[in-house]
Amino acid sequence: MTDENFYDIGIADVPQWALELPALASGGELDDPWMFGDGRHLPDPGPLTSKPFHEGPRRSFSVANSGRTPIADEQVANVFRKLAPDDVQTFPIKVEGESRNLYIINATRSFRCVDEENSKEVQVYPSDGVAPERAGTYRAIYGLRINPARTEGARVFRIQGYLSALIVSAEIKSALEEVGNLGVFFTRVTGPQGAP
């Protein structure tokens, strides 16, 4: 499995809605509304709700919170459940004005797997910088490449130290493209630079 290609999911430049941070349906905010991008197994947060802060076409798969919270319809959620049952959790979320069943897709695993040598440019927060808690994590990576041998056979995961990336296998990418109506795009993160 280590020779398989992997792809980073990004927010596509297509007309689409954008959702507010998930909140508790019972009222009030989550203690950590960013937790769905942490790459860890989470306790069930209970009923969740959100609403669009920007209206637009409602996609089968989109990303809220600057890319940290994947939101999927039933078809897309089933792709993740079927192809990566050990790598994801799906949490129902009710979106104001939306009748479809929607889910947050939470990647439950993360790995230190950046191939710094083959990535185009890697910027790391310095230990003496303005954000000491970020020291040693990635500020930016251009032309990201990962080493699949460090991902323990996972098909969906986050990258330790660079949690904005959500990585999926080629099989999952193809299955998502078959569902269609996506608000995301895929960037290959394996193989030589410039490979399609």
Q: 130 in a domain, yes or no?
A: no
Q: Decide: residue 147, CB within 10 A, 0-12 exposed, 13-18 middle, 19+ buried.
A: middle
Q: 58 in a domain, yes or no?
A: yes
Cβ–Cβ under 8 Å, residues 54 and 42: no
Nearest to 76 by CA among 64, 57, 62, 93: 62
- Residue 2: its pLDDT value, please? 44
Q: 176 in a domain, yes or no?
A: yes
Read off the pLDDT of residues 84-93 as tens digits, 9 standing for 90 and up: 999 999 999 9
Domains identified in the chain, total number: 1
Q: For the full predicted model, state whether its pTM sits above 0.85.
A: yes
- Residue 126: its pLDDT value, please? 83
Read off the pLDDT of residues 121-160 as tens digits, 9 standing for 90 and up: 999 888 887 677 777 789 899 999 999 999 999 999 999 9
For the chain, list residues with pLDDT below 50: 1-2
Cβ–Cβ under 8 Å, residues 102 and 92: yes
Instruction: Determine the structural domain holding residue 43 and report its residue range.
Output: 13-110+171-184
- Residue 3: its pLDDT value, please? 54
Residues in the chain: 196
